Amino acid sequence: MSTTAPASPLAGLWHGPVVDADVHIAPPSVEAIFPYLDEVWREFAMERGFGEGTWNATSVTNTLPPNSPITTRADWRPDDGRPPASDLELLNRQVLEPYGTEMAVVTCYYGIDALRHPDYAAAMASAVNDWMVAEWLEADERLRGSLVLPAHDPVAMAAEIDRLGGHPRIRQIFLPIRSEHLYGRRTYLPVFEAAARHGLVCGLHFGGSSDGPPTPVGFPSWYMEEYAGATQLYFSQIMSIIAEGLLQRFPSLKFAVLEGGFLWLPGIMWRLDKEWKGLRRDIPWVDRPPSSLVREHFRFSVAPVDAGPPEHMAVQIDHLGADDMLMFATDYPHDHQRGLEELIGVLPQATLENMMYRTARDLYGD
């Protein structure tokens, strides 16, 4: 524990409960998850160099450039060479204490979705989840967990959800937006059936490994291009989940849209509604304007804000048409806290209170 509490990053912005909807954790090394892994997969990981000491397992995924200023905020990069976000004491000192967090939803991404070997992927996902439960969730009662899944095998995904979904501190499944298929497609029914069975939130998050390029027009050249363009993926996933009738099939399902922005949503909701008027006979199970399904079933983290001019942000917030769609998040250790002050400056009081704790407390709380 830190002896001197640093000043709250929220000083002057917010005094009240804080729930953090998106916090990342990582094993300090792949050996840290070995106690939760069978011998054969330990040999796999050792021999093939899983992780290579970088926090997001870049030996198997290229989702985040390890040294990018967005990937890890400079003052959250440990100066002793350890991977960022790999230590509970560090998380406590860097985030939970300064923000006064009452509850944080943690995810260990670790590039598991990039593994193509079906048995290795399932074993690694289980090991990461068991490690998270034992060494984080059970060590700090403020933490709730998000299950990482073997993303290329929906049956194995459902099995992992059933294996751990009953744990009282597991509150979410982690679904990277670059999936092999759009999540609304019937291929994934076992996954959402399992999530609904255990009352887990479905967290759509940046990252993943599809069977094609990350854009509809091929591979981008620049990381900035790919990163900013991810809005397309969030948009397509939300649209697929709505169009396929997943929300009619599982009316209790809730989705958290994490690290995807939200200011782009109003015009997209109008478009979803307008085209539904013209084309709904193709998707007759969508019995309400899609915008009302977005408002009921989707919640959005505000890290990053992707802030614009305050008066224009205020219009976008108003056009969301609901005061309970946003959730505060740090997205630790990513450098995604910028713009929060500008955002808070334009939020109505009720929206602010919902954003800082109520919406996420309702979604993830006990």
In the range 95-124, which residues lie near other proteins by CB under 8 A?
none
| Residue 203 within binding range of other proteins, rule CB under 8 A | no
Q: What is the DSSP string of 65-107?
A: -TT-TTTS-GGGS-TTSPPTT--HHHHIIIIIHHHTEEEEEEE
Residue 123 structure tokens: 């074993």
| Residue 141 within binding range of other proteins, rule CB under 8 A | no
| Residue 152 within binding range of other proteins, rule CB under 8 A | no
In the range 290-319, which residues lie near other proteins by CB under 8 A?
291, 304-308, 312, 315-316, 318-319
State the nearest-atom distance from the C-beta of 30 to other proteins, in Å. Answer: 28
Q: Where are the beta strands (DSSP E) in 117-211?
A: 143-147, 170-178, 201-208
| Residue 181 within binding range of other proteins, rule CB under 8 A | yes
Among 282, 284, 349, 366, binds other proteins (CB under 8 A): 282
Among 48, 117, 274, 288, binds other proteins (CB under 8 A): 274
SS3 143: strand
Residue 178 structure tokens: 């670059």
| Residue 325 within binding range of other proteins, rule CB under 8 A | no
| Residue 72 within binding range of other proteins, rule CB under 8 A | no
As a residue count, the chain comes to 366
Q: Kind of pairing, strands 326-327 and 170-178?
A: unpaired
> What is the Cα–Cα distance from 355 to 327, expressed in whole angstroms?
4
State the nearest-atom distance from the C-beta of 224 to other proteins, in Å. Answer: 4
Among 2, 68, 248, 252, binds other proteins (CB under 8 A): 68
CB atoms within 10 A of CB 58: 18
Q: Where are the beta strands (DSSP E) in 272-354?
A: 298-301, 326-327
Q: Among residues 46 and 228, whose Cβ is nearest to other proteins?
A: 228
State the nearest-atom distance from the C-beta of 180 to other proteins, in Å. Answer: 7
State the nearest-atom distance from the C-beta of 222 to other proteins, in Å. Answer: 5
State the nearest-atom distance from the C-beta of 97 to other proteins, in Å. Answer: 26
State the nearest-atom distance from the C-beta of 335 to other proteins, in Å. Answer: 7
State the nearest-atom distance from the C-beta of 2 to other proteins, in Å. Answer: 27
Contact flags string 230-269 toward other proteins, x per CB under 8 A:
-xxx-xxx-xx--xx----------------x-xx-xxx-
| Residue 339 within binding range of other proteins, rule CB under 8 A | yes
Phi, psi of 87 (to 5 degrees): -145, 125
Cβ within 8 Å of residue 182, ≥6 positions away: 236, 237, 240
Calculate the dihedral angle through the C-alpha atoms of 76, 328, 160, 33, rounding to the nearest 10 degrees: 10
Q: Among residues 168 and 278, whose Cβ is nearest to other proteins?
A: 278
Which residue, 343, 288, 296, 355, is CA-closest to 316? Answer: 343
| Residue 343 within binding range of other proteins, rule CB under 8 A | no
State the nearest-atom distance from the C-beta of 134 to other proteins, in Å. Answer: 32
Contact flags string 210-229 toward other proteins, x per CB under 8 A:
xxxxxxxxxxxxxxxxxxxx
SS3 144: strand
In the range 48-67, which residues lie near other proteins by CB under 8 A?
none
